[in-house]
Chains A and B, each alone.
Chain A
Amino acid sequence: MRDNTGIRLLKDRVFKSIIIIFSFAVIIPLGLILFGIVKNGISAINWDLFTKLPTPPGEAGGGILNSIVGSLILILIAVLLSVPFGIMLGIFLSENKGRFADVLGILVNTLQGVPSIVIGIVAYLWVVKPLGGFSALSGGIALGIMMLPIVIKSTEETLKLIPFSLKEAALGLGASYVRTMFKVVLPAGFSGILSGILLGIARIAGETAPLLFTAFGNPYLNLNIFKPVDSLPLVIFNYSMSPYDDWHRIAWGASFVLVVMVLVLNIIARLRIWRNMS
């Protein structure tokens, strides 16, 4: 019998090297993006960027306070809308089997796949037109719809992992179904659901398309949800298309702020998920 252990070991080593090379190849684009944003963006980061409003082109300085505040307002509206509905639907899907629940599950998956620009158009038709103008509210609703499936899915998946014995214990003590769900099952899944919400926020924070014809953008600071607001992705979009170097610099700075925010949210959420699993 021929001994081909040497060849086999060689094959093993080649295969392992290929896996490692491909893995690194995947990381390269991410690394380049991060490097570009940090390199160009870090020089734009200063106190003014966070505290000042934009200046007209040609005038040095200025900041993106309006965009940061606008983004926070949009995210807040989206969270207020998507979290209650999302958690309720998530509870329903985790608690019920049958055709209705299956259909709902498919609809949620479909919603997750709807392009963001289409959701923007829907928000335009439903909210912007009836209200007669662009507004933070319409933008928040568009982002809320985008965030909804993420909250539903994470709630459903988390609650499915809660052992049935806990529910049994609560029911066995004479707790009603509603109290069992809200005082025992949901708190036990709190961490997982919160992670889902954080990932959802990270997902919508960078959305531009649905905001183009809902929140619209606004060079002034605005706290009224019935008036247009700016957002970080919108300022990046508008300023990077402009011919002014100052504005390009600010667009890089805004990109940096946005990427750091999304990264931090993702890391917090992932850490929570890992801690839950261990």
Chain B
Amino acid sequence: MEKYVLKVIDLSAGYSGNWVVKNVSMDVPHNKAIAIMGPSGCGKSTFIRCINRMHEVVPGASVKGKILLEGEDIFEMHPVKLRRRVGMVFQRPNPFPTMNIYDNVLAGYILNGIKLKKEEKDRIVEQSLKNAFLWDEVKASLYKKGTFLSGGQQQRLCIARSLAMNPNILLLDEPTSALDPKAQAMIEELITELKKTVTIILVTHNRAQAARVSDYTAFMFLGEIIEFDDTAKMFTAPKDKRTEEYLTGKFG
């Protein structure tokens, strides 16, 4: 097994020739939570959207450099296959409005035309919802529309939907910024639990959240990774002056 689940080598990405992410390199170990923090517009979302090649969906997007997922170059893989191994949860909960909760969890299989037996489906739905701390709340209403749930529940449903595909990596793009503090706390607790089995890369502009849930933290500024280190180390003794200024709230 590769030592790192993900190796990012000299990655740059941008839109219409304007580089938003500049020469970023990063090694991500297995089953850890990595937080990427930085001020708005520093390129952190663009960066993680490169990891499952969602960046390319935007017209005019460009990317150079290399990303290796367990040794395989992701830019040589088919995006469809890559995205089954690298799940993504977005800022705003986006369950499919035409599907019920049960089908929402299985959406990855349904949309890819993968046929499953009924027992297998039941097992995946129950397991994924349990893993996303949502099972007890929805087990009585699995056949109701997912859009009837609260914001926090919808976001956990989206996490369950990603987990159902058994990804190697789960990308979370500011997953709590549209939620209330209670729902936020629940998602954070969930992240700490999930990282036992899946590598998590979390984009956040909430410094406290990065400190609470992550093992490693990267600080991004103007498209570059200024510092990437053990979270405890970075928050107590940042090496770079800009990191210190960001952490103490001088900007961003």
- Are B94 and A166 in contact, CB atoms less than 8 angstroms apart? yes
Closest chain-B Cβ to A250's Cβ sits at a distance in Å of: 46
Give the residues in chain B near A168, CB-CB below 8 Å.
54, 57, 90, 94
Q: Tell me whether B88 is interfacial, beta carbon within 8 Å.
A: yes
- Are B111 and A172 in contact, CB atoms less than 8 angstroms apart? no
- Are B87 and A172 in contact, CB atoms less than 8 angstroms apart? yes
- Are A166 and B97 in contact, CB atoms less than 8 angstroms apart? yes
Q: Tell me whether B46 is interfacial, beta carbon within 8 Å.
A: no
Q: Mark each residue of chain B from 81 to 96: 1 if its CB lies under 8 Å from any CB of chain A, else 0.
A: 1111001101010111
Give the residues in chain A near B161, CB-CB below 8 Å.
169, 173
Give the residues in chain B near A165, CB-CB below 8 Å.
90, 92, 94
Residues from 91 to 132 in B contacting A, C-beta threshold 8 Å:
92, 94-98, 107-108, 110-113
Q: How many of chain A's residues have a CB under 8 angstroms from any CB in B? A: 20
> Which bucket holds chain B's interface residue count?
20 to 34
Given A168-B57, A179-B111, A180-B111: A174 and B165 within 8 A (CB)?
Answer: yes
Closest chain-A Cβ to B168's Cβ sits at a distance in Å of: 13
- Are A171 and B83 in contact, CB atoms less than 8 angstroms apart? yes
- Are B96 and A184 in contact, CB atoms less than 8 angstroms apart? yes
- Are B57 and A171 in contact, CB atoms less than 8 angstroms apart? yes
Q: Mark each residue of chain A from 82 to 109: 1 if its CB lies under 8 Å from any CB of chain B, else 0.
A: 0000000000000001000000000000
Give the residues in chain A near B165, CB-CB below 8 Å.
173-174
Query: In chain A, what residue has the closest Cβ to B162?
Result: A173
Closest chain-A Cβ to B169's Cβ sits at a distance in Å of: 12
Give the residues in chain B near A187, CB-CB below 8 Å.
98
Q: Tell me whether B52 is interfacial, beta carbon within 8 Å.
A: yes
Give the residues in chain A near B87, CB-CB below 8 Å.
172-173
Q: Tell me whether B80 is interfacial, beta carbon within 8 Å.
A: yes
Closest chain-B Cβ to A163's Cβ sits at a distance in Å of: 7
Give the residues in chain B near A170, CB-CB below 8 Å.
96, 107, 111
How many Å lie between the Cα of A88 and that of B94 in the bound state? 25
Given A163-B94, A169-B158: A175 and B88 within 8 A (CB)?
Answer: no
Q: Tell me whether A183 is interfacial, beta carbon within 8 Å.
A: yes
How many Å lie between the Cα of A187 and that of B107 in the bound state? 14
- Residue in A175, A187, A190 whose Cβ sees the most chain B Cβ within 10 Å: A175
CB within 8 A of A172: which of B83, B92, B110, B113? B83
Query: In chain B, what residue has the closest Cβ to A189?
Result: B98
Give the residues in chain B near A175, CB-CB below 8 Å.
80, 108, 111-112
Closest chain-B Cβ to A98's Cβ sits at a distance in Å of: 9
- Are A169 and B80 in contact, CB atoms less than 8 angstroms apart? no
How many Å lie between the Cα of A103 and that of B81 in the bound state? 36
Q: Tell me whether A188 is interfacial, beta carbon within 8 Å.
A: yes
Q: Mark each residue of chain A from 31 to 55: 1 if its CB lies under 8 Å from any CB of chain B, else 0.
A: 0000000000000000000000000
Give the residues in chain B near A169, CB-CB below 8 Å.
90, 94-96, 107, 158, 161
Query: In chain A, what residue has the closest Cβ to B57?
Result: A171
Query: In chain B, what residue has the closest Cβ to A165?
Result: B94
- Are A174 and B90 in contact, CB atoms less than 8 angstroms apart? no
How many Å lie between the Cα of A150 and that of B117 in the bound state? 42
Give the residues in chain A near B110, CB-CB below 8 Å.
183
Nearest 6 interchain pairs by C-beta: A175-B111, A174-B83, A174-B84, A172-B88, A173-B108, A165-B94
15 additional A-B pairs beyond A166-B96, A171-B57, A176-B80, beta carbons within 8 Å, are: A165-B92, A166-B97, A168-B57, A169-B94, A169-B96, A170-B107, A172-B54, A173-B111, A174-B81, A174-B108, A175-B112, A179-B113, A180-B111, A184-B98, A188-B98
9 chain-A/chain-B pairs, Cβ below 8 angstroms: A97-B59, A166-B97, A168-B94, A169-B107, A172-B54, A173-B111, A173-B162, A175-B80, A184-B111
A residues with CB within 8 A of B? 97, 163, 165-166, 168-176, 179-180, 183-184, 187-188, 190
B residues with CB within 8 A of A? 52, 54, 57, 59, 79-84, 87-88, 90, 92, 94-98, 107-108, 110-113, 158, 161-162, 165
